[in-house]
Structure 1
Amino acid sequence: MTGTPKIRIRGLRKAFGSKQVLDGIDLDVEAGTSLVVIGGSGSGKSVLLRCILGLILPDDGTIEIDGVNVLTAPRRQRETLIESIGMLFQNAALFDSLPVWENVAFGLLAKNRARHGAARLSRAQARDRAGEILAQVGLDPSVGALSPSELSGGMQKRVGLARAIAARPDILFFDEPTTGLDPIMGAVIDGLIVDCVKTLGSTAIAITHDMASAQRIGDRAAMLYRGRLIWQGQAGDLMSSGNPMVDQFTHGRREGPIGMELRR
């Protein structure tokens, strides 16, 4: 054990024009733990994930994965680190033009195409592998032959989760995993997320507005407000943090230190 966090962020800043979205974020995520990030719309949650994924270049700061700064690492090393991340998008983000099994195996097939001389995965093998992963998220492998448009919202979330875990990633990101789901299906998806994270031994970061979900899937929690981390602690303490801003947010109170702001 080196004590190096799986993900280590220091001084992260990102602005869009005059809007400072991330304003000096310092954050550690230990290997094998799940962190939930909460905060209002526009607080910087999604931008934080996209910076780690390399989809947005921050203005300042460092992002380390396994002790390597992904912002300054050589291209191939950076790509390898980013490839170790699986992502469940807010609306599943499935490809309507592909059957479910190919959505699940999309990353595996993409890596297959990039191989040179190494053992290649046939489409039949990829389809079988997709069926196994669908079973892990509670779907019959026969679902693989369907189109995403034929699935309910809950089933689409499960397929999105299956795709996220297909390559057995070291890190998993979840963007509002229960959005659009009823409370029962939300609890089902949360349970699947917890099971998948534990089975893989992955490190996870989730962003959510759902406080029940946050407590179910998180070991630790953090709250963003105006681009700054204003609180970090155990996810089980979210509803009784003692921080007036966190308490107002988690209990959905209109009155409190967080005022309604005009969106620009």
Structure 2
Amino acid sequence: MSQTMTGTTPKIRIRDLHKSFGAKKVLDGVSMDVAQGTSFVVIGGSGSGKSVLLRCILGLITPDSGIIEIDGENVLEAPEKRREKLRSEIGMLFQNAALFDSLTVWENVTFGLLALHKITRKNARNHAGTILAQVGLDPSVGDLYPSELSGGMQKRVGLARAIAAQPDILFFDEPTTGLDPIMGAVIDGLIVDCVKKLGSTAIAITHDMASAQRIGDEAAMLYKGKLIWQGAASSLMNSGNPYVDQFTHGRREGPISMELRR
């Protein structure tokens, strides 16, 4: 079982992760530890490998090589049934919420529980009301459909679905995309509250620096598939790393240059 220098096993441990799509190298030797109960934020520009990293941990994409451990267990070597069990213990807030249009809000919130037959429909409706209240929505919203909700409400429902099964691990994919600054701050506050209440370990990917600092304990930056910096999220704006500083301050001049697409 792998351990950190402090002698405790990280909740998530990644070593030398590689993933390419054809000639395109997306992840190039990524290694990182995420401690139990930590909110870890990964920043980086479009195409830096953030989403692919998240999907590799989730098991939606198989890396070409490397190690992904959860609680010391290499999930890439685990039998399929075990991998499914590990995935079921992860809650995910997708970019743009990704709700099912044909289902009511309460059915969306409890979709995973219902699909795994862990709850009856009657109990699911009541459970959804409780979870919706935790993200600041009236339980009556459960009877609506996603098309009847604003963008901010859809994000809250997506968050409610992510925490419905009280998961050990929570993933957030660009949680403030498409929201105005005030609603973005509201969603970030809800994320922090929910993570603390559950005692979960969280990984978020974002390019929103205000959001990264609000929800993150630790932060790291991916650039061209490599983890080029890691530190406290509170130091994102003054990291001392020229790549991170250019990205976080949105400067045109610096070591990061826009690549022309052909």
Among residues 202, 206, 214, which one is paired with 1:208 in the alignment? 206
Cα distance in 2 for partners of 1:94, 1:121 equals 20
User: Secondary structure of the residue that 1:174 maps to in structure 2?
Assistant: strand
Deviation, structure 1 residue 79: 1.4
1:173 equivalent in structure 2: 171
1:90 equivalent in structure 2: 95
1:152 equivalent in structure 2: 150
Deviation, structure 1 residue 122: 1.8
- In structure 1, stretches of 5+ residues that fail to align are 113-119
| 1:14-45 alpha-carbon deviations (Å, 9 max, x no partner) | 00010000000001000000000000000000
Q: Is residue 109 of structure 1 aligned with residue 114 of structure 2?
A: yes
User: Secondary structure of the residue that 2:18 maps to in structure 1?
Assistant: strand
2:47 equivalent in structure 1: 42
Deviation, structure 1 residue 111: 1.4
- In structure 2, stretches of 5+ residues that fail to align are 1-5
Deviation, structure 1 residue 82: 1.3
Among residues 35, 38, 47, which one is paired with 1:33 in the alignment? 38
Cα distance in 2 for partners of 1:199, 1:70 equals 26
User: Secondary structure of the residue that 1:121 maps to in structure 2?
Assistant: coil
Deviation, structure 1 residue 121: 2.4
1:202 corresponds to which letter in structure 2?
S
| 1:80-135 alpha-carbon deviations (Å, 9 max, x no partner) | 111111000001000000000000000110111xxxxxxx6221110000000000
Among residues 46, 58, 61, which one is paired with 2:63 in the alignment? 58
Q: Please report the TM-score for the alignment, with normalisation by the length of structure 2.
A: 0.97
**How is 1:115-264 mapped onto 2 (pairs within 5 angstroms)?**
121-263=119-261
Deviation, structure 1 residue 153: 0.1
User: Secondary structure of the residue that 2:184 maps to in structure 1?
Assistant: helix
User: Secondary structure of the residue that 1:46 maps to in structure 2?
Assistant: helix
1:149 corresponds to which letter in structure 2?
S
Over the aligned positions, Cα root-mean-square deviation in angstroms equals 1.0
Cα distance in 2 for partners of 1:125, 1:207 equals 33
Cα distance in 2 for partners of 1:14, 1:224 equals 14
2:158 corresponds to which letter in structure 1?
G
Cα distance in 2 for partners of 1:263, 1:87 equals 31
| 1:204-255 alpha-carbon deviations (Å, 9 max, x no partner) | 0000010000000000000000000000000000000000000000000000
User: Secondary structure of the residue that 1:173 maps to in structure 2?
Assistant: strand
2:25 equivalent in structure 1: 20
1:116 equivalent in structure 2: none
Aligned length: 257
1:160 corresponds to which letter in structure 2?
G
Identity %: 80
Q: Is residue 70 of structure 1 aligned with residue 82 of structure 2?
A: no
Deviation, structure 1 residue 2: 5.6
1:25 corresponds to which letter in structure 2?
V
Deviation, structure 1 residue 145: 0.2
Cα distance in 2 for partners of 1:129, 1:204 equals 23
User: Secondary structure of the residue that 1:188 maps to in structure 2?
Assistant: helix
2:187 corresponds to which letter in structure 1?
I
